[in-house]
C-alpha cells in the first residue's frame, strides 16, 4: 500500500508540473508561423523570419504544412491550436474565412487595402505571393516562339504532345482562352452550361495529343525528356529547371493564370498582436522586394515590384507586363462547381 | 464464434459429489465432454486475440467506412429543424411555410455556431452552387422577419422557389441517403421520387466498373496462360532444381509492388530501355508510345500477380502422382490424351485457387494502372482514392467501395455455384 501512496504522490507532482508547464507554455508560447516548407520557406526565413526576429525581438518558430482546410478545421475543433500565422492557398482562405477559422484583419495596420494588388486583399488574409500557370516549352527544341494557348492547340505548326494538369481547374479556362474568349469573359462564360460545353469541346479537339501531370515537378521533366512539346506549368518550376538544370525552357505569360497565397491569423491566437506585427513586416515593400531574387514568385504590395532587382523582372509574375497579360483564377467559381466539374472531367477523360 | 455446447451444458457441473460416487457410464461421458469443452475454450481463448484484432482493425473500420455510403447526418446535425420539417413534404409543390421558417431559424443558429460549412459542403455535392446559396442566404437574412418566411427567402434568391432546391435538402435530411449509392451507379433520384440517369456527360461509373472486370479478367487469363506451363515444368523437375528455380518466382514476389511497377515505367517510357534498344537496332524510326496504354497495364499487372497463380498451381501439380500419367501412357493413351484426360482434370482445384486469387486481387488494383495506364485505363479503385484523398467526399468513396464489394461478392457466388468453392485447394 505504501508504495502505491508514494508513487501516486510522485505522479501527482509530475502531473501538477506538467499542467503548470503547459500553462506557462501556452502563455509564453513563441509566435508560430507556418508555411509551405522547402526552398520557398528557406527563402522566407532569410527575407522575413530572421530580420523580423532581429528587429522586434519577438521569439518566433516556423513550421511547414502541406495545406488542406481539414487540417485547419481539426486544429480549431480540437481546441489545441498551436499555430498563429499560416500561409494558405486561396481556396483555404475563402473556406476558412467563411467558417470563422481566421481572425478578421485590421487593414489599417497593414497600410490600407489600396496599397496591395486587388486580389491580394481579403477580410481574413493578406496576399503573400503571386504565382502563375504558364505555357512552357523548350527553347532549344521550339524556335518559333508560341504566342499563347491558341498555338498550344496548333499541333501542325508545333508537333508533339501537350501536358496539362489533371483536373478541370485551370484547363477549362485555358480551353476558352485558346478558343478566343477574352480573359475578362472566361468565368462569365464558364458559369453557363454552354460555356462549359464549349470548353470541353475545345479540350476534345486536343485530346489525342494530351498527356496529364499531377505534381508540379512533372512538367519540366516532361519537357526535358521530350515527352511533351508544350506544357502548362507553375512559373517557379520552369525557372528552377532553368537555374539548376541549365535548361533553356521558355514561358509564355500571355493568357497565363495566376493565383495568390495569403497569410492568415488563426482565430483566438494568443499572439495576435505579434502576428499582426509580422504581417505588417512581411507586407512592407522594403522587405518584400528581397523575395523575388531568391525565388521567382511575385509579391503583393504594389510598391514592391518597382524595387525588385531588374534582373529578375522578366520572369516575375507581378511584373506589370506579365500581370496584365494574365487572368486571376476565380476560386469562388471553383468552390461552387468543382464537385460537378470533377465528375464531368473524369467522365470526359475516361471516354 | 461460440463453440458448440455439448449436450450436458444445461446440467449442473460435475461437482465434488459426482466425483465421490462415480457412476460408470455418464460420468466418463461427462468427463470427456468437460475435457472437450475446456479444449474448445482454450482454442477459443488462443484465437481470441486474433479475433479481437480483426474486429478492431478490419471489420470495424471497414464497416464504419462502408456505412458512410448511406449514413448522412451532416446536414441534420447543422440544420436539425428543417431536416425534420422536410420529411413531411411530398416532393411536388413547394414545402409549407413552417419548413421555410425552420430553414431561416436553422441557418441563423448554424451561422452563429459556425456549423454551416459541413452542411453547405454536403449540399454542394448534390447541386452545384448550393454552398454559396446557403452562405449568401445566411448573410442576407434580416434581423426581423417582414412578411412570410417564404417571401423573405425567395427575395434573397429565387432558387428557394425551385422544387429541386428543396429536393436536395430532402435528400440530405438523413439519417440515411441513397444519393451516393445511386451516383455510383450513374443514377439520381428527383424530389418527386423518380429515378433518372445522370446527364450523359457525367456518366462514368458503370463504364468503369465494367472496365475493372474486363481488365481483371484479361489479367487472370494472361496469368493462367503464362503460369500453367511454368508450374508444369517446375513440378516435373527434380525437387532440388525446382526449388532453385522457384526462387526466381519468389524473388519478384518478395519485391515491392511499387518497385516492380516502376521498373515497367523504366522499360516502356518514351526514352526507355525498349524504345532505345529498338531505335539502336534500327527496327523502328521513331520511339513507340508504349506507356500509358492498356497493354502496359496488362503487362505490369500480369507480372505482379503471376506468383499468385504459379504458387498454388505448382503446389497442386506436385501432389499429383506421376504414376497416373505413366499408367495412362502404358495403357495406350497418346501423351496429349494422357495430359488432357488424366493430368489436367487433377489440376483443376489448383487452377480454381489461382484464378480466384489473381482475379479478386486484380479487381482492387490501383497503383499499377495509375502509374502505367492512361486516363481510360483507370479502374474503380482509382476513383475511390480520388474521392477519399483528393476531394474528401467519403460518401462517394464509400459508395464506390460498396459497388466494387457487391460486384465481387456476386461474382464469388456465381463462381461457387459453377465451380464450387470447396473444390478449391491451396494444397
pLDDT of residue B111: 86
Give dist(CA B183, CA B171) in Å, integer: 13
Q: Are residues A221 and A152 in the same domain?
A: yes
Q: Are residues A150 and A276 in the same domain?
A: no
Structural domain includes residue A244: yes
Query: Which cell numbers hold the place of B271?
Result: 526514352
Instruction: Convert the pLDDT of each residue in B75-87 to its tens digit.
Output: 999 999 999 999 9
Q: Which domain holds residue A124?
A: 7-130+260-324
Q: Which helix (H) or strand (E) holds A162?
A: strand A162-165
Residues comprising chain A, all counted: 351
Query: Which cell numbers hold the place of A131?
Result: 504565382
For testing the chain A interface, which of B183, B289, B375 should be mutated: the one with the most A CBs within 10 Å?
B375
Q: Are residues A303 and A339 in the same domain?
A: no
Q: Are residues A336 and A230 in the same domain?
A: yes
State the sign of the Cα–Cα–Cα–Cα dihedral B26, B29, B33, B35: positive
Q: Are residues A252 and A141 in the same domain?
A: yes
**Most confident by average pLDDT, A22-36, A66-80, B15-29, B301-315:** B301-315
Structural domain includes residue A13: yes
Residue A14 in this model has a pLDDT that exceeds 80: no
Residue B148 in this model has a pLDDT that exceeds 60: yes
Which residue is it, cell 486571376?
A328
CA-based nearest residue in chain B for residue A343: B202
Q: Are residues A97 and A123 in the same domain?
A: yes
Residue A134: closest CA among A241, A243, A257: A257
CB-CB contact of B374 with A349 (8 Å): no
Give dist(CA B41, CA B44) in Å, integer: 5
What percentage of chain A has pLDDT greater than the value 70?
92
Instruction: Convert the pLDDT of each residue in B222-269 to its tens digit.
Output: 999 999 999 999 999 998 999 999 998 888 888 898 999 999 999 998
Question: Residue B84: phi, psi to the nearest 5?
Answer: -75, -45
Q: Are residues A27 and A109 in the same domain?
A: yes
Q: Are residues A97 and A30 in the same domain?
A: yes
ipTM computed for the complex: 0.75
Query: Which cell numbers hold the place of B1?
Result: 464464434
| Residue A213 touches chain B, beta carbons under 8 Å | no
End-to-end CA distance of chain A: 75
Q: Are residues A189 and A220 in the same domain?
A: yes
Which residue is it, cell 532553368?
A242
How high does pLDDT run on average in chain A?
89
Give dist(CA B169, CA B177) in Å, integer: 11
CA distances from A299 to A31, A316, B263, B285 (A): 23, 9, 42, 48
Which residue is it, cell 506585427?
A277
Q: Is B385 exposed, middle or buried (0-12, 13-18, 19+ CB in 10 A)?
A: middle
Whether residues A339 and B376 touch (CB distance < 8 A) is answered with: no
Structural domain includes residue A288: yes
CA-based nearest residue in chain A for residue B293: A211
Give B128's contacts in chain A (Cβ within 8 Å).
336-337, 339-341
Neighbours of A325 (CB within 10 A): 17
Of B117, B125, B204, the CB nearest to A350: B204
| Residue B381 touches chain A, beta carbons under 8 Å | no
Residue A216 in this model has a pLDDT that exceeds 60: yes
Query: What is the per-residue burial (b if ≥16 Cβ within 10 Å, else e) of A330-341?
Result: bbebbbbbbbbb
CATH number of the structural domain spanning residue A287? 3.40.190.10
Structural domain includes residue A2: no
pLDDT of residue A350: 85
Q: Are residues A183 and A312 in the same domain?
A: no
Residue A227: closest CA among A249, A250, A211: A211
Helix axes B130-140, B116-126, angle to 10 degrees: 140
A16 vs B339, higher pLDDT: B339
CB-CB contact of B418 with B401 (8 Å): no
Q: Which domains are seen in chain B, by residue range? A: 74-177 (no CATH), 205-423 (1.10.3720.10)
| Residue A140 touches chain B, beta carbons under 8 Å | no
Q: Are residues A177 and A319 in the same domain?
A: no
Q: Are residues A279 and A248 in the same domain?
A: no
Instruction: Convert the pLDDT of each residue in B203-214 to its tens digit.
Output: 999 999 999 999
Instruction: Convert the pLDDT of each residue in B150-179 to its tens digit.
Output: 999 999 999 999 999 999 999 999 899 999
- How many domains is chain A built from? 2
* pLDDT tier, B4 (very low <50, low <70, confident <90, very high otherwise): very low
Structural domain includes residue A1: no
| Residue A95 touches chain B, beta carbons under 8 Å | yes
Residue B236: closest CA among B311, B314, B306, B309: B314
Structural domain includes residue A65: yes
Give B376's contacts in chain A (Cβ within 8 Å).
349-351
Amino acid at each position: 500500500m505504501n508504495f502505491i501512496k508514494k508513487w501516486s504522490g510522485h505522479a501527482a507532482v509530475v502531473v501538477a508540473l506538467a499542467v503548470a508547464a503547459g500553462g506557462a507554455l501556452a502563455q509564453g508560447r513563441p509566435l508560430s508561423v507556418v508555411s509551405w516548407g522547402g526552398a520557398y520557406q528557406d527563402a522566407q526565413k532569410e527575407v522575413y523570419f530572421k530580420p523580423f526576429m532581429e528587429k522586434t525581438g519577438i521569439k518566433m518558430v516556423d513550421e511547414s504544412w502541406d495545406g488542406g482546410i481539414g487540417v485547419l478545421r481539426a486544429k480549431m475543433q480540437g481546441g489545441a491550436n498551436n499555430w498563429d500565422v499560416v500561409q494558405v492557398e486561396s481556396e483555404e482562405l475563402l473556406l476558412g474565412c467563411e467558417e470563422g477559422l481566421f481572425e478578421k484583419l485590421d487593414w489599417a495596420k497593414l497600410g490600407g487595402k489600396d496599397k496591395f494588388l486587388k486580389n491580394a486583399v481579403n477580410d481574413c488574409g493578406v496576399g503573400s505571393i503571386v504565382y502563375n500557370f504558364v505555357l512552357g516549352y523548350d527553347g532549344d527544341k521550339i524556335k518559333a516562339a508560341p504566342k499563347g494557348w491558341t498555338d498550344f492547340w496548333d499541333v501542325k505548326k508545333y508537333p508533339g504532345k501537350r501536358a496539362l494538369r489533371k483536373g478541370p481547374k485551370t484547363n477549362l479556362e485555358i480551353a476558352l482562352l485558346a478558343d478566343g474568349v477574352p480573359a475578362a469573359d472566361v468565368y462569365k462564360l464558364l458559369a453557363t452550361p454552354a460555356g462549359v460545353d464549349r470548353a470541353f469541346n475545345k479540350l476534345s479537339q486536343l485530346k489525342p495529343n494530351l498527356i496529364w501531370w499531377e505534381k508540379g515537378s512533372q512538367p519540366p521533366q516532361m519537357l526535358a525528356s521530350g515527352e511533351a512539346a508544350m506544357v502548362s506549368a507553375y512559373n517557379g518550376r520552369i525557372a528552377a529547371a532553368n537555374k539548376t538544370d541549365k535548361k533553356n525552357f521558355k514561358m509564355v505569360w500571355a493568357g497565363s493564370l495566376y493565383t495568390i497565397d495569403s497569410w492568415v491569423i488563426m482565430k483566438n491566437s494568443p499572439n495576435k498582436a505579434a502576428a499582426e506585427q509580422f504581417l505588417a513586416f512581411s507586407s512592407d515593400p522594403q522587405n518584400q522586394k528581397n523575395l523575388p531574387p531568391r525565388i521567382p514568385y511575385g509579391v503583393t504590395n504594389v510598391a514592391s515590384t518597382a524595387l525588385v532587382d531588374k534582373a529578375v523582372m522578366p520572369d516575375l509574375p507581378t511584373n506589370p507586363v506579365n500581370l496584365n497579360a494574365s487572368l486571376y483564377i476565380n476560386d469562388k467559381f471553383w468552390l461552387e462547381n468543382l464537385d460537378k466539374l470533377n465528375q464531368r472531367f473524369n467522365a470526359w477523360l475516361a471516354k | 464464434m461460440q463453440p458448440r455446447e455439448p449436450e450436458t451444458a444445461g446440467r449442473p457441473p460435475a461437482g465434488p459429489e459426482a466425483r465421490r460416487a462415480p457412476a460408470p457410464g455418464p460420468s466418463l461421458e461427462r468427463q470427456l465432454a468437460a475435457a472437450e469443452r475446456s479444449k474448445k475454450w482454450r482454442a477459443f481463448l488462443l484465437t481470441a486475440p486474433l479475433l479481437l484484432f480483426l474486429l478492431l482493425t478490419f471489420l470495424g473500420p471497414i464497416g464504419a467506412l462502408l456505412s458512410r455510403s448511406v449514413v448522412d447526418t451532416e446536414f441534420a446535425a447543422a440544420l436539425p429543424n428543417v431536416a425534420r420539417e422536410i420529411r413531411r413534404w411530398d416532393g411536388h409543390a413547394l414545402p409549407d411555410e413552417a419548413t421555410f421558417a425552420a430553414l431561416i431559424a436553422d441557418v441563423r443558429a448554424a451561422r452563429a455556431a459556425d456549423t454551416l460549412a459541413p452542411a453547405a459542403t454536403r449540399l454542394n455535392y448534390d447541386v452545384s452552387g448550393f454552398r454559396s446559396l446557403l452562405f449568401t442566404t445566411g448573410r442576407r437574412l434580416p434581423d426581423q422577419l417582414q412578411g412570410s418566411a417564404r417571401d423573405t427567402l425567395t427575395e434573397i434568391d429565387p432558387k428557394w422557389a425551385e422544387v429541386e432546391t428543396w429536393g436536395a435538402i430532402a435528400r440530405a435530411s438523413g439519417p440515411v441517403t441513397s444519393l451516393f449509392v445511386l451516383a455510383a451507379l450513374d443514377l439520381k433520384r428527383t424530389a418527386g421520387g423518380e429515378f433518372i440517369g445522370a446527364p450523359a456527360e457525367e456518366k462514368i461509373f458503370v463504364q468503369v466498373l465494367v472496365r475493372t472486370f474486363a481488365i481483371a479478367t484479361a489479367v487472370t487469363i494472361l496469368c493462367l496462360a503464362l503460369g500453367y506451363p511454368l508450374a508444369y515444368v517446375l513440378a516435373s523437375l527434380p525437387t532440388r532444381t525446382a526449388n532453385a528455380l522457384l526462387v526466381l518466382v519468389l524473388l519478384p514476389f518478395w519485391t515491392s509492388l511499387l518497385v516492380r511497377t516502376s521498373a515497367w515505367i523504366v522499360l516502356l517510357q518514351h526514352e526507355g530501355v525498349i524504345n532505345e534498344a529498338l531505335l539502336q537496332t534500327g527496327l523502328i524510326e521513331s520511339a513507340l508510345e508504349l506507356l500509358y496504354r492498356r497493354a502496359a497495364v496488362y503487362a505490369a499487372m500480369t507480372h505482379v500477380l503471376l506468383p499468385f497463380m504459379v504458387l498454388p498451381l505448382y503446389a497442386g501439380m506436385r501432389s499429383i502422382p506421376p504414376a497416373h500419367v505413366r499408367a495412362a501412357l502404358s495403357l495406350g493413351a497418346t501423351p496429349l490424351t494422357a495430359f488432357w484426360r488424366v493430368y489436367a482434370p487433377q489440376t483443376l482445384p489448383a487452377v480454381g485457387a489461382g484464378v480466384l486469387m489473381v482475379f479478386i486481387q486484380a479487381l482492387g488494383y490501383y497503383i499499377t494502372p495509375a502509374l502505367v495506364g492512361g486516363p481510360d485505363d483507370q479502374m474503380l479503385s482509382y476513383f475511390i482514392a480520388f474521392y477519399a484523398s483528393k476531394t474528401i467526399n467519403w460518401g462517394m468513396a464509400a459508395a464506390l467501395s460498396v459497388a466494387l464489394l457487391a460486384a465481387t461478392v456476386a461474382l464469388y457466388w456465381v463462381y461457387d455455384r459453377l465451380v464450387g468453392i470447396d473444390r478449391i485447394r491451396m494444397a
